[in-house]
Amino acid sequence: MASSAENTDTRISLLPVLGLLFGIAVSIGSTLGVGILRQPGPVASYLHEPRLIILMWFAGAVYAALGASNVSELAAMVPREGGFYVYTRATMGEHAGFAVGWSDFLANVAPAAYAGMAAVEFLQRLVPAIRPIAQVVASTTILAFSAMQWFGVRLSARVQQTASAIAAIALIGLVLGCFTIHKPVGTPPLPPAPAVSFLGALVLAIQSIVVTYDGWYAPIYFAEETRRPARQLPRAMFGGVALLPLFIC
């Protein structure tokens, strides 16, 4: 009977081929998405005061660092694929794990669709001809990245590292451009901030900042494919969190 139970619990482990650079790349790449291009404007319109704006972005970095401290410990203790589903199932049972697992799945699928459409929206400004087929281009891009997984984890890791480097360089270029390119004549004014109290504006700003920093925990989804996960996963998350303020603030 004991042998039968052991066989029932036996599972096939994934091949650990990913290293520290991939973990940092996926942490930064998951965070430097549409949020960093969309959210700074609303945060500034909510808070108005430059010092308060910078302070709240710094608070977002602290929030991500505290989260990384907790999640990296869980990932090091239970280095398995599945993200938050694994930890919830181990501590709260099958039903809670099922609920969290599906919620986490949907929370990762929706941003992929949003990022695809946002990327095409920005691309339309350079290539207006794609406007009639914008949804097709966005869907094809997502499917292409999904199909890439069939060619192996190593190839996907290289693509992730390259894409994260390109995103970081492009964002740095955008920041430099903001300081060097003059505002075009006839630019429409920004929409007015919502008529809410200071506390309400603070809550809206915090919500936007948390959404922007979301993604720092991405290495946990590759825990089982990471070499020496107890050592590399905390380094990947803290390394990503340490580098993010350079691009966000």
Torsion of CA 88, 89, 92, 97, to 10 degrees: 80
Question: Measuring CA to CA, which residue among 155, 161, 153 is closest to residue 225?
Answer: 153
pLDDT score of 50:
85
Mean pLDDT in the chain?
77
- Closest to 220 in 3D by CA, of 57, 92, 115, 88: 88
Residues 226 and 19 sit within 8 Å (Cβ to Cβ) = yes
Asked if 29 contacts 236 with a C-beta cutoff of 8 angstroms, the reply is: no
pLDDT score of 5: 42
Mean pLDDT (whole number) for 101-121: 80
Q: How far apart are the first and last CA of the chain?
A: 59
Is the pTM higher than 0.75? The answer reads: no
Predicted confidence (pLDDT) per residue in 182-191, tens digit: 666 666 665 6
Burial class for 181, CB neighbours closer than 10 Å (0-12, 13-18, 19+): exposed
pLDDT tens figures, 200-239: 888 888 888 888 888 788 888 888 888 888 888 888 888 8
Interval 155-164: pLDDT, tens: 776 776 677 6
Tokens 């929409």 correspond to: 191
Judged by DSSP in three states, 82 sits in coil
Q: How far apart are CA 240 and CA 23, in angstroms?
A: 8
